[in-house]
Amino acid sequence: MDSLKPLLALAAGLLFAAPAAAQMDFTGEWPVVRAQDNSDNPHLGEYVGVPLSPEAIRRAEIWDASIQSLPEWQCRPHSGAYIKRGPSNLRIWKDVDPASRQIVAFQAEWLRSVNTPIYLDGREHPPEYAAHTWGGFSTGEWEGDRLKIQTTHLKEDYYRRNGIPQSDKATLTEYLIRRRFNDEDYLTWLIVAYDAVYLTEPLVRSTEYRLDLNQRVPPYPCTIVTEVVTPEGYVPHFLPGANDQIFSFSDAYGLPRTLYFDGAETMYPEYRTKLQNALQNAAAE
């Protein structure tokens, strides 16, 4: 037994070793930085830069914004694929194990959405048949001082509030990065969405937040009201091929309507040549 004491002492030392110094603390009050397209309030038919599948394009063209007025939709939270790109302010706090003092999870909460835990304790993701939720199921692991997050088990929702659908097969690979710039703290939330149903390539987006210790995320008690009087059982929609509003974006900027159908092709610089050729041909007609 005495011969085992050095080994036991070594094991105990490793077990209670301090966490890596590179781990970052993301707790705080984080208002969203209103820059670029962070407000995510796009035109109908504004799908440039999104690798949509043909199924997603057909699904998007039947979408009617009036569906948000239905009682069943008024208090729906945003999904984890959208809320991190939306205009809502963010709060993050951490759950710490009282015995080991290790971080069990970061908790993320946005205004008008559900609380989302990001587990750091090594737990496995649920099986595929487990229930899907608005926030999904997220686990994180450290890569230096940034946190890599894997999110699964999302409910079906949308990537953008102009009809771009997100399936319940979608998964997210995310990165949290905190840095200091001009004496202010910033948080970058990078999201890479994979969706075999509605995306033909990964969709990469990011959102910037700035630390504000005076922020308070208020409660959001949602009350269902009658916003629009509609017949019982009616669901706002367009029939396939009948929605001329999807061309409002291309028409407003004098772009060819064909870009609506080009999906992932619109993500790359070479697409400018195709647009220029289409515009020249249209001018010559």
- pLDDT tens track for 189-205: 999 999 999 999 999 99
In terms of Cβ atoms closer than 10 Å to its own Cβ (0-12, 13-18, 19+), residue 84 is: buried
Model confidence over 140-152: pLDDT tens digits? 999 999 999 999 9
How far does CA 226 lie from the centroid of its chain? 29
Rounded Cα distance, 199 and 12, in Å:
48
Rounded Cα distance, 84 and 14, in Å:
37
User: Taking a C-beta distance cutoff of 8 angstroms, is the pair 113, 134 a contact?
Assistant: yes
Rounded Cα distance, 51 and 171, in Å:
15
Give the residue-averaged pLDDT of 214-228. Answer: 84
Angle made by CA atoms 241, 282, 164, in degrees to the nearest 5: 35
Q: Which of 74, 78, 94 is nearest to 86 (CA)?
A: 78
Predicted local confidence at residue 17, as pLDDT: 45
pTM of the predicted model as reported, rounded to 2 decimal places = 0.86
What mean pLDDT, rounded, does the chain reach? 87
pLDDT > 60? residue 18: no
For the record, the structure tokens of 283 come out as: 């001018």
